[in-house]
Structure 1
C-alpha cells in the first residue's frame, strides 16, 4: 500500500491545485494567452516574423539550430482591476529570457547573448506588473535565447490579477520544483540506505540499487537545478551518462529480483549498455542528438521486452518483489516514452511537466520495498542460522560433557588401577617380603618363636605404614617422618638400637602427591630395615634438614659399614628415587654407613 500511496497523494494534490487554479482563471479577469507574433533570428537564415499558436517548441520549430526569439502578445486590463497587483505567469520558458510590458523591462534571467551558457531557466517565471505600467490594452514582449537541443521555447502565458494566479503559480511550483526536488532527495536517501546495507552484507542487489538510485537522483536534479556546474555541452553528456548508469544498474536489479532472462535478452542488453557511451560521444562530436534519440528508442523497445518477460515470470511465480518491480518499471517505461515523444515530436505537450520524475518516486519506493524485504529475509536467515549454530553448539557441548565424563571415569579407573598396583607393589616389597621370610622360617624349622614373631611384626608395621601413607598431606615430609618414627620406634628399640632423631622445620613439597610420598617412605623404611637386619649396629641416627633448595634426609648407623650395597632392595630404592626426581647416595660413615636422600623443593628442569 505504501508503494502507491505516496504517488497517489502527490497526484491528488496536483489535481486539486490544478482544479482550483482553473476555476480562479475561469471566473476572474486573468487570461491565458495562446496566440502571439514571433520574430525568429537564427544564424544562417533570414529573420522570420509570423503569427503562431503557443506553446513554442524551439527544437521542433528550428531543429539543430540556435537563435533568438521575440514573442509579442496582447492582453487587456480592465480599468476596474488595473489598480490591483497584476502578474505574468510563464509555466515554462527557456533558455534565457526577458519580459517587457509596453516597452518597459520587468524582469530577465540568464544571458541572452551567451549561447550554450551553463545557466538555463527551468522554473516557472513569476513577473509582477506595476499598476502604473498597465493600460486598457497592453503589449507583452518575451525575448528568448534558444540553444539547440536544449528544449528552449515558451509555453502559454497567463496574465491577470495576482490573487487569481496564485493557485496556478502554486501548482506550477509544486509540479516543476517541489516534487522533482523531493524525488531527488528520496532517490539519494534510498541510495545511501542501500549503500550502507551493501557495505555490511556485500549483496549485489544492494549495490545495484544504490548505484541506480544515485544516478537517477542526480539526473532528476537537472530538471530543477538551473545553474549547471559545467558548460552545457559537457553537462548534457554527464546527464546522459547518468541515465546510462541507471539503465545498467536497473537491469542488474531486475536480474537479481525477477531472475535471469534469455541469452538473447542478456546479449541485447549488454550491447545496448556498451554502445551508449559511444552514441553519446558521437552525438557530442557531431553536435546532433539523432544518435542519442535512436539509442533511447532502442532502449525503450528492449525494456518493453524485458518488462513483458518480468510480468510473465511474476504471473508464473508470484511474489511481491517481482510484481512491484515489474509494475514500477512499466510505469517508468510509460513515463519515459511519453517524455521522449513530448520532447522530440509534440509541440502541444511542451508546457506539461515531464512524467518520469513522478514515476521515479514509484521506482524509489519499489527499490526501498525490495531492499527492505531482502534485508528482512537476510535477518531472518541470520536469526535461523544463529539458532541452528546455538543448537549445534549446545549439542556439541553436551557431547563434549559426555565425552569428558567418560574420560574422567576412565581417568579415575586408571588412577584407581594405578593406586591398586602401587599398593600391591608396596605390599610385595614391604609386608609381602616379610611374610615370605616368615613362611621360610616356618618351613625350615630353624627360627625360634621370637624370631618368627619379630618377622610377622615387621610385616604388620609395613602394612600400617602403607595405610599411613594414604592419609598423609601431600608434600608434608615432616608428617611422613613423624608417622615413620611412631610406627618403627618400638621395632628399633627391640633390635637393640639407640635412636637419635633430629628433624628441622621442612617446607612442603607442592609437587609431591601420595605416590611420591609413598616412594620416600619406602626408601626410608628400606634403609632402616637394612640397619636393623644387616649393620650389626648399636646406634641409628635419622636427620632431616633443608638447605640449598633441597630437603636432605639422612639414615646413619655405627655398624660394620657394609650394609646392603647391592640386591633387590637397593635397586628398588634407586628406582623409586629416580621416579620422584631425588638423589640417593650411600657413603661410609667411619664407622658404619650413611644413606643420603636429597629431595629438590622446586620442580627440576625438563631434560631437552
Structure 2
C-alpha cells in the first residue's frame, strides 16, 4: 500500500518560509549579555570568617539556615574588548543591604551593612551603570551584603552588557515584581474599600439588630490583608520594626486564606463538612498558631513556618476539594466559577510554596499575587449580579405595584360609580322626603285645618275658603324658593313680603320693613333656603293666626359674616315655658338642620323670634 502526501498550498508554504526566516534573523540579531556565575566568597557569621568558592545565585537561607551575617563576593570580569560607552550591571536580587564596587569604584550602595534586621533592599531588581573608562581588560567586581536570617538574602548571578542587552531583562523583571505588584495593591485596596463600603451600607432592616452582610466584610478583610502582604515587597523601610513587620506579613497570608474560604462559602450559601463551625475553628487555630510560627522563623526555625504553611494549605485543600465536588454535582454557575478560582489559586500556591519554601530559589516571582486578583473580579461580579437581581426585583415590584394600583383604580372607579348612583338615589329619596315634609308641615297642615272646619260645621264657607287660600300660598312660596339663588336671604324675605303683605293688610296689621341688602350666605344651599323660608313663614303665620297684633316688624341685618333676622309683633304673646306645640317644635328642628341659632322671647304686648345665621 502506498501513502500519498499532498504538498501544502503555495500561500501556506510562503508564510512558513517567511516565518522561519524572520525567526532566524531575530534570533541572530538578539545579542546576549554576559552573566557571572562564579565568585570567591568570604562569609562572616558571628565573628567567624570562611572563604569558599561559590556558584551564583548564592541563597543565604540554604547555606546558613537561621543565621545572619555578612559576605563579600569577588568576581572576575575579563574583557577582550574594552567598551568605550557606559554598560549596565543588573542583579535580579541583591542584599538585604549591599555595596557594589568595580575595580575599587563604588557603583551603588543601599542600606546599613552593619545593622541587622534593618531596611531590606532585596525585594526589587537592581540595575547599575558602569561609566565609560572604569572597565579594563581584567576587572574585579566586589559585592558586599548584609544577610538577615529568613529574609531571602543572597546574591543573584549578575548580568553585564550594553543597555540594549540588559534593559529588556530588567524591564521584564521590574514589570512583574514592581509595576505588577503596584497594580495588585491598588486593585486590592480599591476592591477592599468597595467591599467595606457595601458591608457598612448594606443593612438588612428586617433582621434583629439590623444585621450587615458578612460576605462583604470577609471580602474586604481578604483584599486588605493581601494588599498588605504583597505591598510589603515595595517597602524597603517598613512603618514598624522589621521583626514585627515580617510577622505581620506572614499572618496576613493566613488572614487572606481564611477570609477567602469564608467568602467562598458565603457567596453561594454553601454548607459542607469543611464549612461553618468546623472551618471557622480550624482557621482560628491556624491564625493563632501563625504568630508563634512566624516568631520561630525569625529566630531561625524556618521549619516552623514551612509546617504552618503546609497546615494552612491542607485545611484549604480539604475545603476546596469538598467545595469543588459540590460545585460539580449540583452547584450554580457562580459556585463553579468560585470553585475554578480556588483551584487556580491552590495550584499557583503550591507552585509558589515549592519554589520559595522547598527550593529556596533566589529571584523569581510569586504568581499567586496575580491569581488572587480573580477573587476581586468575582466580588465585582457578585456585586453586579446582586445589583441586577435587585433591579429586577424592584422592576417586578414596580410592575406588580402598577398592576395593583391600576386594579385598585378600577375598583375605586367602580365603587365611585356605585356610590354616585347611591348618592343620586339618596338625593332623590331626600328630595321626596323634603317634599313630603313640606307638604305635611305646610300645605298638609292647612288642608287638615280645612277638613276639620268642614267636619265641625261651625266654620263659615269664607273661613274654609281662606284656609284653602293659605294652603295655595304655601305652595306658591315653595315654588318661589326653588327659583331663588342659594343663600339669598334678602330675596327670600322679599318673596314672603310679596305673598303675605295683602293678608297682613286684610288683618289690619301694619308692616314695618327694615331689611338690608345682604350678601348671599354661602353655606345656605337649596335645602337650607327651604328650611329658612319655613321658619320665617311659620313665625308670620303665628302672628296672623294667634297674636291678635296690630303691628309687625321684620328686621334683617348683616354683622360681618353673621346675619340676624328678627320678627317682632305687638300681640298678646304666649307662655314660652309651657310645652311646645307642633309649630314651635318644627321651628327648632329646622333651625338645627341649618345650624342656625333660634331665640323666642314673648310677653304680653311683644313677641320676638330671632334667627341667627353665622
Contact 1:535 1:563 in 2 (8 A): no
Q: In the superposition, relative to structure 1, how do residues 548 and 323 fare at CA in structure 2: closer, same or farther (>3 Å)?
A: closer
- Match in the other structure for 2:173: 172
1:266 aligned to 2:276? yes
- Displacement of 1:284 in angstroms is 5.1
Give the distance between the partners of 2:574 and 2:420, measured in 1 at CA: 49
1:230 aligned to 2:243? no
Instruction: Choose from 254, 263, 266 the match for 2:264.
Output: 254
Range that drifts further, 267-276 or 162-171: 267-276
Q: In the superposition, relative to structure 1, how do residues 468 and 67 fare at CA in structure 2: closer, same or farther (>3 Å)?
A: farther
Instruction: Choose from 43, 66, 69 the match for 2:68.
Output: 66
- Match in the other structure for 1:296: 309
Give the distance between the partners of 2:95 and 2:344, measured in 1 at CA: 28
- Displacement of 1:549 in angstroms is 6.7
- Displacement of 1:524 in angstroms is 1.0
- Match in the other structure for 2:598: 584
Secondary structure of 2:263's counterpart equals helix
Q: In the superposition, relative to structure 1, how do residues 411 and 357 fare at CA in structure 2: closer, same or farther (>3 Å)?
A: same
Give the distance between the partners of 2:197 and 2:420, measured in 1 at CA: 51
- Match in the other structure for 1:14: none
- Match in the other structure for 2:493: 481
Give the distance between the partners of 1:568 and 1:393, measured in 2 at CA: 54
- Displacement of 1:124 in angstroms is 0.7
- Match in the other structure for 2:399: 387
1:499 aligned to 2:511? yes
Aligned residues: 576
Contact 1:233 1:284 in 2 (8 A): no
Q: In the superposition, relative to structure 1, how do residues 127 and 475 fare at CA in structure 2: closer, same or farther (>3 Å)?
A: same
- Displacement of 1:57 in angstroms is 2.0
Secondary structure of 1:561's counterpart equals coil
Residue correspondence of structure 1 range 192-591 to structure 2 within 5 A: 192-202=193-203, 203-283=213-293, 285-286=295-296, 287=299, 288-317=301-330, 319-347=332-360, 349-547=361-559, 550-562=562-574, 566-588=580-602, 591=605
Q: In the superposition, relative to structure 1, how do residues 547 and 388 fare at CA in structure 2: closer, same or farther (>3 Å)?
A: closer
Contact 2:247 2:295 in 1 (8 A): no
Give the distance between the partners of 2:391 and 2:592, measured in 1 at CA: 64
Secondary structure of 2:160's counterpart equals strand
Give the distance between the partners of 1:404 and 1:215, measured in 2 at CA: 65
Give the distance between the partners of 2:590 and 2:554, measured in 1 at CA: 20
- Displacement of 1:90 in angstroms is 0.4
- Match in the other structure for 2:36: 33
- Match in the other structure for 1:16: none
Contact 1:82 1:134 in 2 (8 A): yes
Give the distance between the partners of 1:449 and 1:559, measured in 2 at CA: 27
Map Cα deviations across residues 179-218 of structure 1 (whole Å, 9 max, x no partner). 1111211222222333444444344433333332232223
Q: In the superposition, relative to structure 1, how do residues 332 and 536 fare at CA in structure 2: closer, same or farther (>3 Å)?
A: same
Contact 2:111 2:119 in 1 (8 A): no
Give the distance between the partners of 1:271 and 1:91, measured in 2 at CA: 41
Q: In the superposition, relative to structure 1, how do residues 401 and 521 fare at CA in structure 2: closer, same or farther (>3 Å)?
A: same
Give the distance between the partners of 2:433 and 2:350, measured in 1 at CA: 97
- Displacement of 1:360 in angstroms is 2.3
Give the distance between the partners of 2:305 and 2:504, measured in 1 at CA: 120
- Displacement of 1:75 in angstroms is 2.2
Contact 1:59 1:149 in 2 (8 A): yes
Contact 2:572 2:604 in 1 (8 A): no
1:150 aligned to 2:151? yes
- Match in the other structure for 1:7: none
Secondary structure of 1:223's counterpart equals helix
Give the distance between the partners of 2:227 and 2:249, measured in 1 at CA: 11
Residue correspondence of structure 1 range 40-119 to structure 2 within 5 A: 40-43=43-46, 46-79=48-81, 81-119=82-120
Q: In the superposition, relative to structure 1, how do residues 124 and 25 fare at CA in structure 2: closer, same or farther (>3 Å)?
A: farther
Secondary structure of 1:87's counterpart equals strand
- Displacement of 1:225 in angstroms is 2.8
Contact 1:206 1:371 in 2 (8 A): no
Contact 1:59 1:344 in 2 (8 A): no
- Displacement of 1:66 in angstroms is 1.2
- Displacement of 1:293 in angstroms is 3.0
Give the distance between the partners of 1:340 and 1:562, measured in 2 at CA: 121
- Match in the other structure for 2:123: 122
- Match in the other structure for 1:597: 610
Q: In the superposition, relative to structure 1, how do residues 562 and 360 fare at CA in structure 2: closer, same or farther (>3 Å)?
A: closer
- Match in the other structure for 1:604: none
- Displacement of 1:433 in angstroms is 0.8
Q: In the superposition, relative to structure 1, how do residues 531 and 244 fare at CA in structure 2: closer, same or farther (>3 Å)?
A: same
Map Cα deviations across residues 578-606 of structure 1 (whole Å, 9 max, x no partner). 44443333334763x322223142xxxxx
List alignment gaps of at least 5 residues for structure 2: 1-22, 204-212
Range that drifts further, 572-581 or 53-62: 572-581
Question: More relative contact order in 1 or in 2 (CA 8 Å, sep 6+)?
Answer: 1
- Displacement of 1:265 in angstroms is 4.1
Secondary structure of 1:74's counterpart equals strand
- Displacement of 1:175 in angstroms is 1.2
TM-score (norm 1): 0.87
